[in-house]
Structure formats: structure tokens, C-alpha cells
Amino acid sequence: MLKDAVDLPVIAAPMFLVSGTEWVIETCKQGVIGTFPLLNARTGEALEEWMTEIKTELEKAKEENPDQTIAPWGVNLIVHKSNARYEEDLERIRHFQPPLVITSLGNPTPVVDVVHSYGGKVYSDVITTKHAKKAASVGVDGLILVCAGAGGHGGLLNPMAFISEVKQFFDGTVVLAGCISNGNEVLAAEVLGADFAYMGTRLIATTESMANDGYKEMLINSKVDDILYTDAISGVNANFLVPSMQAAGLDPANLQPAGEYDANRSRREAKSWKDIWSAGQGVTSVNQISSLKDTIDELKREYKQAIDVTAAKR
């Protein structure tokens, strides 16, 4: 089981234009599952270089540090027909055999067949019970319940209600996503019945992430009220940082439908995700730019303290 191969029950979420090779490698070295979107590598050739580097560096780390937990790594594959690289990237998955493949936006059946052929695991992002049932029916190993307040394409369901309902029909691995930014919340996810917490926003403001300094500083200076859930940026509902919209010349109170920005700075310039940055409501926990090692060490301390406090109250 993947949970037996980590120091902390956390999966570092694959984030577009944020998660790169250095970020994934260092996350895994710290005992947390590191993942990245395949499309962060802008070409298929670059992706092969990325996957080769990750496998090589993690195998080297295991050899040099036999007593250290080196967590598994994973990738995120968009299975929607809009992903022009879907077929070739699926073949790259077959070749490089990442231990975990996370599917988004579509039917994961072909991915399940490929990944199971080499013994890997497939988890699917879901935002509704309907989506969860569809993914469960095709044999995925895990469901990532993307709840209200999550960064990126989050859903609107309360995590307590969502996980309770999913547990009624699914006995595989459950991953909880949405506003999980410290060790207390990691433990809370487990108490609710999750096997892993899915963490993104807290790990953007790290020295190893590909996010630019302006993005990281904005996370530090932002609060819950600076997060806006809208489909006007990418065409799909997601949580974005209001200050980044304003910096791109948009009025958060008067957003036009996606694709219709023409004034001053066009939508073509203020591209989704590149200039208009995403974050979850857990942004309040981001208060400095740190290395992944320091950040994950802090999470481990918080998690242990939460366990100790809970035990003392019994």
C-alpha cells in the first residue's frame, strides 16, 4: 500500500505550472508523495527527460539513504478529449511506470488498464458523488474528493458529507482535498475516514516550486476573502486569487464569461493559471517562503503534536 511508503499521509497535489522535477524529487525525499501534471513538461520529449530524472534521482536517494523513507512519485493525466497528448503520454506512463497516476476530467478506464498492468495505482479526482461512482465502477484504486475551498478546480461539497457518502459504496483509498494546510488538518482528514490528505496551496510557496516570486508573495499576503470561485477565468469553476485578477486588469466584481476579455489587457495575455493564479481557502496558513524540507518538517511536527493532544484528551 502507498500509505506504508510515506512518513506523513500526504500527497503533494499536481499543480499546473508549479510542480516540477525538483519539487517532486525533494517532496518524495521528505517522505511525502510528490506528483506533477504531465502537461507541465511542455513537450513529449521534455516529459521523458523529466520522468527519467525523477526515477533516477529517487532510485539514487534510496541507495544512498537505505534507512530513510523515500516516498513514491506520481503524475496527473488529463483524460479529457481536449488533451491532444493523451495517447502518447499514456504510452509514456506505460514505459516509465510511475507508482501513482492521478486522472482528471474524464473516463479513467484505459488508464486503469495500463497502470494495473505494471502494478501501479490509479486515483481519480472527483467533485461530486456521481463522478465518484463512475470512477469507482471502472476499478480505480482511489478517489480524491476535491471539496469546497480547494485550490484549482474544486467542488462545492462539504468534506464531512462527501466522504461519508463515498464510504457507503467505495472501499478503496480515499484522499481528501480542500483547505488542508497544516498537520492538525491532516489528522482531521484521517479522523473523517481519509487515507491521505491532498495538499497544494501550502506547498506552492516553497523554494523548489516553479511558481514565480510574485505568486509566492501574493500567497503570503492573501486571506480567505482574497479567494474567488468562478468559471470566468478558465471556463471551469475554480478558486483564484483576487489580487492576481486585479493585476491582470480584471474587475473581480464584474467578470465576463471566459474568452470575452478584450479591454486593455486581453484575455490572451492574461492567460488562465499563468497570470491569474490559483489558491485554496487554506491560503491563510501560508506565511513564508521555505524549503520543502523545512515546510514538511513543520507539517510532521504539527501532525505529531495533534496526535499527542488528541491522545491526552481521551
What pLDDT, on the 0 to 100 scale, is given for residue 266?
A: 41
pLDDT surpasses 50 at 262: no
Q: What is the pTM of this model?
A: 0.94
Domains in the chain (CATH in brackets) are 2-210 (3.20.20.70)
Q: Sign of torsion, CA 4 163 73 114?
A: positive
Please give the torsion angle defined by the CA atoms of residues 89, 173, 191 and 33, in that order, rounded to the nearest 10 degrees.
-40
Q: How far apart, in whole angstroms, are the C-alpha atoms of residue 63 and residue 165?
A: 43
Q: Is the pLDDT of residue 263 over 80?
A: no
Query: What is the pLDDT at residue 259?
Result: 57
Question: Is 80 exceeded by the pLDDT of residue 65?
Answer: yes
Average pLDDT in the chain = 93
Scanning 242-282, the segments in alpha helix (DSSP H) are 242-247
Whether the per-residue pLDDT at 270 is higher than 50: the answer is no
User: pLDDT tens-digit profile of 73-122?
Assistant: 999 999 988 899 999 999 999 999 999 999 998 899 999 999 999 999 99
Cα(148)–Cα(224) distance, integer angstroms: 12
User: What does the pLDDT read at residue 260?
Assistant: 52
Residue 226 contacts residue 254 (beta carbons within 8 Å)? no
The mean per-residue pLDDT over the stretch 157-165 comes to 97
**267, pLDDT greater than 60:** no
